Amino acid sequence: MGIVSRGFTGRRRTGAADLPPGQYLVDDFPVLSAGPTPRVPLDEWELVITTETGERHRWSWTDFLALPAETPTVDIHCVTRWSKLGTRWTGVSLDVLLDEVETSADHALAESYGGYTTNLPLEDLRDGRAWVVHKYDGDPLPAEHGGPARLLVPHLYFWKSAKWLNGIRLTPTDESGFWETAGYHDYGDPWREQRYQGD
């Protein structure tokens, strides 16, 4: 996988918002990616949830759009210290996607087009805490922000919200993802400043 993209920018904004420690507000939407931006044609896109037994649950783009959608408005916090408040997305709750998936797994590994991965406890994808989103602020999600669809897990640092999502593999044990193997925290709670291993 390549180096971090050069597209990262951020305009600082001060304010009296309730932010996690060490964060600052931005008005724009910075772009930070590990490697090049994949371009996935919608007729080739699919989402696959694979259980620990190898059972696969697949959705094409058409199947995915036919699922009940929600429009969460959430705050997002990047490990590079910027935060953006009141972001509005449209997508499918992981509760819907996992509804008919039988598993005894405790962990998940999100897998993206382009090879990116990140690990999460499965409980952090349930109970209205995570979505697979395909729109931002009412418009189709641009590729630079993870389109056609990305994971959205707003209660964790934003690297856990994998861009260009194409699969979630359920596992009985925790398997570190891309940034986690590079020394980033396995969990990534912004309120506890869990940026790096040992935080």
| Bridge partners for 76 per DSSP | 84
Model confidence over 84-124: pLDDT tens digits?
Answer: 999 999 999 999 999 989 999 999 999 999 999 999 999 99
pLDDT for 11 equals: 46
Q: What is the CATH number of domain 38-70+88-187?
A: 3.90.420.10
pTM of the model: 0.90
Q: Confidence band (pLDDT; 50, 70, 90) for 17?
A: low
pLDDT for 10 equals: 45
pLDDT for 32 equals: 77
Model confidence over 4-16: pLDDT tens digits?
Answer: 443 434 444 444 4
Q: Could you state, in order of their start, the residue ranges of all structural domains in the chain? A: 38-70+88-187
Q: How does the average pLDDT of the chain come out, rounded? A: 91
Q: Which helix (H) or strand (E) holds 95?
A: helix 94-98
Spatial separation of the C-alpha atoms in residues 109 and 132, rounded to whole Å: 14
* CA 125 and chain centroid, separation: 10
Q: Confidence band (pLDDT; 50, 70, 90) for 132?
A: very high
Spatial separation of the C-alpha atoms in residues 147 and 187, rounded to whole Å: 24
